[in-house]
A and B are shown apart, each in its own frame.
Chain A
Amino acid sequence: MLTEHKPLMRALRRSHTSSSSSPSSSNSSSPSSSSWIHLRSVLLVVASSSSSSSSSPVYTDRGSLKSPWSRRRRKHALLPKQWKSFFTPDGKLIEGGVKFLKKVRSGGVDPSIRGEVWPFLLGVYDLNSSKEERDSVKTEKRIEYENLRKECRKIRQRNEKSSKSKETVGNSSNEDSGDFSQVFDSPGLEDLSSSRRSLSSEGGSPAAEDLDCPTYDQSPERSSLLEGEGDKSVLTCEDASAGDTESTDSDSSDDPENIPLLSNEGTEENEALGENAKESSSPTKTESMPKTHTDEDFATWQRIIRLDAVRANSEWVVYSPSQAAVSEMKARRSAQVVGLKDYDHLEPCRIYHAARLVAILEAYALYDPEIGYCQGMSDLLSPIAAVLEEDDETFWCFVGFMKKARHNFRLDEVGIRRQLSIVSKIIKGKDSHLYRHLEKLQAEDCFFVYRMVVVLFRRELTFEQTLCLWEVMWADQAAIRAGIAKTAWGRMRLRAPPTDDLLLYAIAACVLQRRKLIIEKYSSMDEIMRECNSMAGHLDVWKLLDDAHDLVVTLHDKI
């Protein structure tokens, strides 16, 4: 047909095909004559009934394999006693951590020792390190983190100042457009100016005649033109809490965080910058680049980080009693320190959590400016912050996690595309029938698992399930990092070697578990995506790992 060369035509035809052959799964299951139906509920019924029907085993040969997970229910997580027994007297892991990783790989980690174990899994501590070495790493890393935080505060203050400047000119009541920042630095005006900060920091407003092409030019002259009718309320508004937050913040801006933790407050800023430069491009560079561009990017990240932090879910609360019991005063104080806004609807423990997320994500954005902040990263950090109580440790564990996960967030999208294509290959290799069906629906690119890849099942699994899956995955990755994979694991004659891509096998497994439903019922990519986005609460993490393992066994040398 002639339409082939036009993508839109194809897309239209797709919708037509899907709507005419089976006018969406819901319609076919529930023919209805009433006009205003909430199809979603119908869809959910379909989804849940189908997930139970599709739980009939896809893999019949599983029993014959030595899967570390198929017997999971008889295996335990790594327990405190055993964890202690893995160390030699000078505090080194026995056998370079092989036994340790093997244990975690098969059963996860007991919640009571996660905080101790994770830094090993996530590469903060070398598997061969002694207690002494770890102590010195810990101190170094703490200082490095503190310095990143200092730098974050500086940037925020600078941004605040520059937006204040713009305000001054913008409101044109102030004749002096020269050294306006001094005016607002005087304490008396602090409240007023800071209460307006957030408005102007939303970005330089284009002049009215530029409405057709909004611009990012932030020069004061420009914004001065447009303070029009809509803006007259600006001076008096902003809710009180936000005003409080910021003024308190700027009062305490010098050393507001973790004061008791850090004895060597005097560490030179520049030292820290030097350290950072080793691992990522240095914040010092930022200074020498055109200010407007880099600052604006960071300002955008800061805005979205805060937005996401206050909407982090509260599932972690029951697993982290000490953080759950944080006092309201401490919570609010920490929120003020990082300039959190709009949190009045949250209970103290969630305010506290949100403030920690902000501090750590901001520091990360500075540490890894190529990635900065991207939505989804707060989903990855939140469980780590729930398990680890100190910000610096949390940060470095997150850095370890992100070493691999960061590729999903790359601007050029190379990472995410690679991941999706591996999922596609796994499905193709395991189930050509399903793959052909996906091709027919133009869904073989596996975009429908996009969210699972980006936030590593965090949206589909419960808190506890997620941590189990991640621990198993981290153990595999740690084994590969340490070069254990080819030697020690080999001697153990495991059928499934550790893989860097266990997550992708698990994602493929979860699609394959629904093969029957997809082949028989779904006639568009949309429907498959809907299914994938509605899996929350329907997954068994150990079955998932079990199936993933089967896939690793059959396919690891072909992918």
Chain B
Amino acid sequence: MPSRRRTLLKVIILGDSGVGKTSLMNQYVNKKFSNQYKATIGADFLTKEVQFEDRLFTLQIWDTAGQERFQSLGVAFYRGADCCVLVYDVNSMKSFDNLNNWREEFLIQASPSDPENFPFVVLGNKIDVDGGNSRVVSEKKARVWCNSKGNIPYFETSAKEGINVEEAFQCIAKNALKSGEEEEIYLPDTIDVGSSSQQRSTGCEC
């Protein structure tokens, strides 16, 4: 069967309220920052075209509500995700602690075919705040966690200053694409869900 070329890559951004999910998305897509984004209700998305190895893709970035109460409705929005971005605020320990819940919740609700290898990317946002003085989660600590979860790629970002945002999303797109290519295996008529053991390289240092 000829390889079907994917054009749409779906990315979901998750994390506690106020960690900067909407800001990251807008900084990446629109190159804008505002500290007045209202709380996201339900979900919303923006799209951006990305080029990767001479191919064009539409990156569809889903911004979600940070308050847990909306999570079970989230299933409608998580469906078909190619990559999940977990965001925390480096100035808030709790938002970091909750990464694990967000990850697990995503795996339950999106129920990807190969949860072990589903691509996540972790972003520690707001590194600009107070010149880094109010930081409570160290980079090392975050990396330890990421490594323990199968070498999740990790970036430290500032949506406000636009630091590392482009790089992070490059990596996100790349991982989404890889995940998408693997999914293509399932698309032909014969489905063998069990044979998805293909290992994805972990921890892309893109």
Q: Is A530 in contact with B80, judged by CB distance below 8 angstroms?
A: no
Q: Is B93 in contact with A203, judged by CB distance below 8 angstroms?
A: yes
Interface string of B34-61 (1 = CB under 8 A from A): 0111111111111111110000101010
- Determine if A37 is an interface residue (Cβ-Cβ < 8 Å): yes
Q: Is A459 in contact with B47, judged by CB distance below 8 angstroms?
A: no
In chain A, positions 201-231 with a C-beta closer than 8 Å to chain B are 202-203, 205-206, 208, 211-216, 228-231
- Determine if B202 is an interface residue (Cβ-Cβ < 8 Å): no
The distance from the CB of B30 to the nearest CB of chain A, in whole angstroms, is 7
- Determine if B163 is an interface residue (Cβ-Cβ < 8 Å): no
The distance from the CB of A545 to the nearest CB of chain B, in whole angstroms, is 22
Select one of B42, B44, B97, B130 contacting A237, CB under 8 A. Answer: B130
In chain A, positions 1-29 with a C-beta closer than 8 Å to chain B are 1-3, 6-16, 18-20, 23-24, 26-27
Q: Given contacts A211-B145, A212-B100, A375-B65, are A230 and B189 in contact (CB under 8 A)?
A: no
Q: Is B133 in contact with A211, judged by CB distance below 8 angstroms?
A: no
- Determine if A307 is an interface residue (Cβ-Cβ < 8 Å): yes
Q: Is B97 in contact with A205, judged by CB distance below 8 angstroms?
A: yes
- Cα distance, A230 to B134, chains bound together (Å): 10
Q: Is A374 in contact with B67, judged by CB distance below 8 angstroms?
A: yes
Q: Is A12 in contact with B183, judged by CB distance below 8 angstroms?
A: yes
- Cα distance, A304 to B39, chains bound together (Å): 10
The distance from the CB of A257 to the nearest CB of chain B, in whole angstroms, is 25
Q: Given contacts A2-B189, A230-B141, are A416 and B41 in contact (CB under 8 A)?
A: no
Q: Is B17 in contact with A24, judged by CB distance below 8 angstroms?
A: no
Select one of A211, A213, A375 contacting B17, CB under 8 A. Answer: A375
Q: Given contacts A2-B191, A19-B7, are A239 and B76 in contact (CB under 8 A)?
A: no
The distance from the CB of A360 to the nearest CB of chain B, in whole angstroms, is 17
In chain A, positions 491-535 with a C-beta closer than 8 Å to chain B are 525-526, 529-530, 533
Q: Is B136 in contact with A234, judged by CB distance below 8 angstroms?
A: yes
Q: Which of A109-117, A429-437, A445-453, A469-477 contacts B (4 or more CB under 8 A)?
A: A445-453
Q: Is B141 in contact with A211, judged by CB distance below 8 angstroms?
A: yes
Contacts of B41 in A (CB 8 A): 375-376, 379, 450-451, 454-455, 459
- Cα distance, A6 to B140, chains bound together (Å): 38
- Cα distance, A91 to B94, chains bound together (Å): 54
In chain A, positions 307-336 with a C-beta closer than 8 Å to chain B are 307-308, 311-313
Q: Is A378 in contact with B58, judged by CB distance below 8 angstroms?
A: no
Contacts of A455 in B (CB 8 A): 41
The residue of chain B having its C-beta at the shortest distance from the C-beta of A350 within the complex is B36
The distance from the CB of B18 to the nearest CB of chain A, in whole angstroms, is 4
In chain B, positions 125-180 with a C-beta closer than 8 Å to chain A are 130, 132-141, 144-145, 148-149
- Determine if A69 is an interface residue (Cβ-Cβ < 8 Å): no
Q: Is A376 in contact with B39, judged by CB distance below 8 angstroms?
A: yes
Q: Is A213 in contact with B8, judged by CB distance below 8 angstroms?
A: no
Q: Is B133 in contact with A236, judged by CB distance below 8 angstroms?
A: yes
The residue of chain A having its C-beta at the shortest distance from the C-beta of B139 within the complex is A230
Select one of A8, A18, A36 contacting B111, CB under 8 A. Answer: A8
Select one of A40, A208, A304, A525 contacting B46, CB under 8 A. Answer: A40
The distance from the CB of A74 to the nearest CB of chain B, in whole angstroms, is 36
Q: Given contacts A214-B101, A450-B41, are A39 and B110 in contact (CB under 8 A)?
A: no
Q: Is B8 in contact with A211, judged by CB distance below 8 angstroms?
A: no
Q: Is A211 in contact with B135, judged by CB distance below 8 angstroms?
A: no
Contacts of A3 in B (CB 8 A): 186, 191
- Cα distance, A454 to B67, chains bound together (Å): 14
Contacts of A27 in B (CB 8 A): 58
Q: Is B8 in contact with A24, judged by CB distance below 8 angstroms?
A: yes
Select one of A1, A237, A379, A526 contacting B38, CB under 8 A. Answer: A379
- Determine if B200 is an interface residue (Cβ-Cβ < 8 Å): no
- Determine if A182 is an interface residue (Cβ-Cβ < 8 Å): no
Q: Is B73 in contact with A8, judged by CB distance below 8 angstroms?
A: no
- Cα distance, A136 to B108, chains bound together (Å): 53
Q: Is B136 in contact with A231, judged by CB distance below 8 angstroms?
A: yes
Contacts of A526 in B (CB 8 A): 45, 60
Q: Is A39 in contact with B42, judged by CB distance below 8 angstroms?
A: no
In chain B, positions 1-52 with a C-beta closer than 8 Å to chain A are 4, 6-8, 10, 17-18, 29-30, 35-51
- Cα distance, A238 to B131, chains bound together (Å): 11
- Cα distance, A485 to B70, chains bound together (Å): 34
The residue of chain A having its C-beta at the shortest distance from the C-beta of B137 within the complex is A230
- Cα distance, A2 to B188, chains bound together (Å): 10
The residue of chain B having its C-beta at the shortest distance from the C-beta of A229 within the complex is B138
- Cα distance, A525 to B133, chains bound together (Å): 44
- Determine if B187 is an interface residue (Cβ-Cβ < 8 Å): yes
Q: Is B30 in contact with A450, judged by CB distance below 8 angstroms?
A: no
- Cα distance, A308 to B40, chains bound together (Å): 10
- Cα distance, A409 to B65, chains bound together (Å): 13
Q: Is A205 in contact with B39, judged by CB distance below 8 angstroms?
A: no
- Cα distance, A535 to B35, chains bound together (Å): 22
- Determine if B112 is an interface residue (Cβ-Cβ < 8 Å): yes
Q: Is A8 in contact with B80, judged by CB distance below 8 angstroms?
A: yes
Q: Is A230 in contact with B136, judged by CB distance below 8 angstroms?
A: yes
Interface string of B76-109 (1 = CB under 8 A from A): 1101100000000000111111111100000000
Select one of A20, A23, A409, A459 contacting B69, CB under 8 A. Answer: A409
Contacts of B95 in A (CB 8 A): 202
- Determine if A45 is an interface residue (Cβ-Cβ < 8 Å): no
Contacts of B73 in A (CB 8 A): 413, 416, 447, 450
Q: Is A11 in contact with B18, judged by CB distance below 8 angstroms?
A: no
- Determine if B119 is an interface residue (Cβ-Cβ < 8 Å): no
- Residue in A8, A16, A239 whose Cβ sees the most chain B Cβ within 10 Å: A8
Contacts of A308 in B (CB 8 A): 17, 38-39
Q: List 21 A-B contacts (CB under 8 A).
A: A6-B191, A10-B79, A14-B80, A35-B49, A36-B48, A36-B50, A39-B48, A39-B49, A40-B29, A199-B93, A203-B93, A214-B101, A228-B138, A375-B17, A375-B39, A375-B70, A379-B41, A416-B73, A526-B45, A529-B44, A533-B44
Listed in ascending order, the chain B residues whose CB lies under 8 Å from chain A are: 4, 6-8, 10, 17-18, 29-30, 35-51, 56, 58, 60, 65-67, 69-70, 72-73, 76-77, 79-80, 92-101, 110-113, 130, 132-141, 144-145, 148-149, 183, 186-187, 189-191, 193
16 further A-B contacts with Cβ under 8 Å, apart from A40-B46, A237-B134, are: A8-B110, A11-B79, A13-B187, A23-B8, A40-B47, A211-B145, A212-B148, A212-B149, A214-B100, A231-B136, A304-B17, A307-B39, A313-B38, A375-B69, A411-B69, A447-B42
Question: Nearest 7 pairs between A and B by C-beta?
Answer: A230-B138, A11-B80, A214-B97, A203-B94, A11-B79, A35-B51, A450-B42
